[in-house]
Structure 1
Amino acid sequence: MNDHATSPVSPRPTRRRPAPPADARRARWAVSLIFLLNGASFSAILPRYPELVERIGLTNTAFGLAVGIGPVGGLLAGLFAATLMRRLGSARTAVLFQTIASTSHLLVYTSASWTWLAAALLLAAGADAITDIAMNAHGMRVERRYRRSIMNSYHGWWSLGAVAGGLLGAAAAQLGVPLWAQGLAGLLLFGTLAVGSLRFMLTGHDTLEREELLAAGPSPASAGEVPADPAPGGLRIAGMSLRALGLILALGGILTFAGATEDAGNTWGALFMKDTFTVTPFMAGMAFVALQGAQTGGRFLGDVIVDRFGDRATARAGALLSAAGMTLALSVPTPATVLLGFACAGWGVATLFPAGFRVADELPGVPPGVGITVVGWLARVGFVATPPLVGALADAVTLRYALWVMPVYALGIIAFSGVLSPRLPAADPPQDPAAGSPSASET
């Protein structure tokens, strides 16, 4: 609308987002479902960890080592994600390996020894790593069709699934549902929904949207712009320029510390509540739910926050919030302060994985699918290294003092945050040459 003729002061024109194509809208819901299932399937196990530890008879060190060995499967399997996506496409890869992940989770529930548990977690983490990379890659395809940021909402659905799974697991623990029964029900439910989502995902090659954007030329403030490689010549590693490789490593550092923060709540939250306070099994599971619940809110609001303040400032503020919350929880431990501390940690790292994946997938000098694969692989270093570290510290100095690593993780996020994007000025909307007024445009 143009009010120049009736008002002495022209208001800023309203920027309307164009409606995305119908197939993109359907694909967005399908990808969101995979994120939800990915979060729920494994998270339902976490409140049952104390029962598994007691049934198998594990020390904190042994349990932390088993949990830490699991993500080694993610590190190994993640190396093949780009190849699998080239052969199968990101949609089929995500659905296939999410179904494999749900199957392997049944093996975790039925673990009867340390070796069994470690092997089941190894398989589960391998399938999850490939699912994680593939669903993010397909999510980026859909985001390019939308021509605006929607990645934080995907991760919001993951966190919502994690909260739902955590609540289901905590309720099952409280009601005394057998572990094998919970695992079998999860396989049937989550596996069926994953397979059903495939028909609604985007068709065509995974590079289709990139090619369309390049052919159309630059667009204003589009989340899907693909910049040119500023240094097309010179030494390249895995198809990446050295500058791009350095940025990828820095992004991996951010996600390593973000993943380690999440893992602290996922792996040790219930045990910390159980060992430190006299609480019910359901209440013990609330530490994990507090972290994931706050992270869910932060991710659903993340696109608005990042658009306003930028990824860099959002990451730094979130890291400070995480450090402050966990410092309070560990300095003055009560059930209320611990839940508040884990909630602050969850909110603090909420936008980091979406930001890291987006930057990696759009970096100049990085072949399609490679950046997101490498960053996803590096992120799993945190999941490999931190459970054994925290477990060993817990046996040496108690779990309360071991969890002081969480404020240290926040400092690591701040140290690498400069690689993230600052807030960019909003671009002017394109003009309609016939009417002289702005046409519909994304913001």
Structure 2
Amino acid sequence: MSTAVPVHLRRARVGVSIIFFTNGIVLGGFAPRVPELRDQLGVSYGTLGIAMAMWPIGALALGLTAAAMIRRFRSSRVATVTMVFSAAAMLAAGLAPNVWTFGAALFVVGVTDAWVDVAQNAHGLRVQRLYGRSILNAFHALWSIGAVAGGLIGGLSAGLGVAVPWQFLGGLVLVLAANAVAYPMLLAGPEPQHAGEEGADETALPHPQHVPLRRIPVRTWGLLGALTVIALAGGWAEDAAATWSAIYLRDELLAGATFAALAFVSLQGFQFVGRLLGDRMVDRWGQRAVARWGGALVAVGMGLALAIPTSWGTVLGFGAAGFGIATLIPGAMHAADRLPGLRAGTGLTMLSWLLRLAFLLSPPVVGAIADATSLRVGLTLVPVFGLLVVALAGAMEGRRVPAPSR
């Protein structure tokens, strides 16, 4: 028999969804303007890739402080406040007069985005545990639809000739207003001290003894490594769409500015659909099977799009990749948060930090390959990661067998 969800939990779910949505808009609005920003800065693919890498470098440099910040200030405060700072740093990147200040602004974007990422997922997991069923994929679906909205806004702005700083200023105003609305809706009280099942009174939860890092079993580290590669596959495909898809369509397939935004929109749109269906798919078939089939879809979809390069084929290929990676990052985060022997938030923070490697390595690696050969060749790493997901999906949870009724 189903139990009605308390009003405060429904409100908290809406509040978390708003944060995810605005986080998606910031990245989504940036991606279609990358070709224009490259032209304004007057840099090569490789130099642009290095500058773009400052985003994940910032996340890697200070992202691990997120867990301590959340324990000190609460995930609700960290998520909403740093989301505003992230949008402000994005505006600074849009105003950058040269590649050095552009890279410095992206460094700050990376730091604040990492804090937002961990905090919004930590709060989302709190809400999910109190719901008693999977809802994390739905939060990530809101991120995806936010990215679609941002991508459409960015593509239309580029086609209409709206200056980049004006678009990013509008994004900052939207983020500020939305997060001011979201904060009062979030869960009250301090963070729970462990990631187990939470009761109504979270502050009364016991604090189980955690295992020191040096005593963590090798198998746990191996699982964390496999989960990281799976999450990296999702991140690599997302970055390929965000950083390179518009440039690839414009420079190599000769698409117009507005059409060039459609590959990113396609990936995020199909990712949204996949995440909207993701919780039910995971409950029915298990995260392991969903991830394995998703990896295969990435490998086949992007592989065919790159083997037979056309504008619409590229858009559809990125769409297939978006559906395939839809549950990879939230599923890996959920599994990492439940790794035995780690303090609350530690596995999630470590995986989120390591996930930034995808966004660190992808821009300079793909940019260097593009300068030496072509962007088409550089993008072939996306289907390669799809095959890795197929191979490593065993690290994910299988289908849960319902407990027999008594």
Is residue 274 of structure 2 the alignment partner of residue 298 of structure 1? yes
Is residue 136 of structure 2 the alignment partner of residue 151 of structure 1? yes
Displacement after TM superposition at 1:238 (Å):
7.5
Letter of the 1:266 partner, please give it. A
Is residue 332 of structure 2 the alignment partner of residue 323 of structure 1? no
Displacement after TM superposition at 1:278 (Å):
2.9
The corresponding residue for 1:359 is: 335
Is residue 157 of structure 2 the alignment partner of residue 172 of structure 1? yes
Displacement after TM superposition at 1:78 (Å):
1.1
Instruction: Give the structure with the larger helix fraction.
Output: 2
When residues 377 and 358 of structure 1 are mapped into structure 2, their CA distance, relative to the original with a 3 A threshold, is same
CA distance in 1, matches of 2:368, 2:252: 17
Aligned 1:95-110 pairs, distance under 5 A? 95-110=80-95
Q: Normalising by the residue count of structure 2, what TM-score does the alignment of the two structures yield?
A: 0.95
The corresponding residue for 1:372 is: 348
When residues 391 and 134 of structure 1 are mapped into structure 2, their CA distance, relative to the original with a 3 A threshold, is same
Q: Name which of 222, 235, 257 aligns with 1:246.
A: 222
Letter of the 1:358 partner, please give it. H
CA distance in 2, matches of 1:19, 1:48: 45
Q: Name which of 284, 287, 302 aligns with 1:311.
A: 287
Displacement after TM superposition at 1:17 (Å):
2.7
Displacement after TM superposition at 1:412 (Å):
2.0
Cα distance per residue 1:365-398 (max 9 Å; x no partner): 1111111101101111111011100000001111
Letter of the 1:274 partner, please give it. R
Q: Is the 8 A contact 1:309 1:423 kept in 2?
A: yes
The corresponding residue for 1:264 is: 240
CA distance in 2, matches of 1:274, 1:92: 40
The corresponding residue for 1:40 is: 25
List gaps (5 residues or longer) in structure 1.
Answer: 1-15, 217-225, 432-443
When residues 377 and 166 of structure 1 are mapped into structure 2, their CA distance, relative to the original with a 3 A threshold, is same
Q: Is the 8 A contact 2:195 2:337 kept in 1?
A: no
Q: Normalising by the residue count of structure 1, what TM-score does the alignment of the two structures yield?
A: 0.87
List gaps (5 residues or longer) in structure 2.
Answer: none
SS of residue paired to 1:31: helix
Cα distance per residue 1:144-200 (max 9 Å; x no partner): 111010000000000000000000000110111111111111111112211221111
Displacement after TM superposition at 1:363 (Å):
2.1
SS of residue paired to 2:401: coil
When residues 212 and 396 of structure 1 are mapped into structure 2, their CA distance, relative to the original with a 3 A threshold, is closer
The corresponding residue for 1:64 is: 49
The share of aligned pairs that are identical, in percent, is 40
Q: Is the 8 A contact 2:248 2:376 kept in 1?
A: yes
Letter of the 1:43 partner, please give it. G
Number of residue pairs aligned between Structure 1 and Structure 2: 402
Q: Is the 8 A contact 1:94 1:134 kept in 2?
A: yes
CA distance in 2, matches of 1:94, 1:81: 10
**Residue range with higher mean Cα deviation, 27-36 or 241-250:** 241-250
Letter of the 1:88 partner, please give it. F
Q: Name which of 7, 11, 14 aligns with 1:29.
A: 14
Q: Is the 8 A contact 1:239 1:367 kept in 2?
A: no
Give the number of the structure whose alpha-carbon radius of gyration is greater. 1
When residues 211 and 323 of structure 1 are mapped into structure 2, their CA distance, relative to the original with a 3 A threshold, is closer
When residues 211 and 330 of structure 1 are mapped into structure 2, their CA distance, relative to the original with a 3 A threshold, is closer
Is residue 330 of structure 2 the alignment partner of residue 345 of structure 1? no
Question: Which runs of 4 or more aligned residues in structure 1 lie more than 4 Å from their structure 2 counterparts after TM superposition?
Answer: 208-212, 238-242
Displacement after TM superposition at 1:127 (Å):
0.3
The corresponding residue for 1:285 is: 261
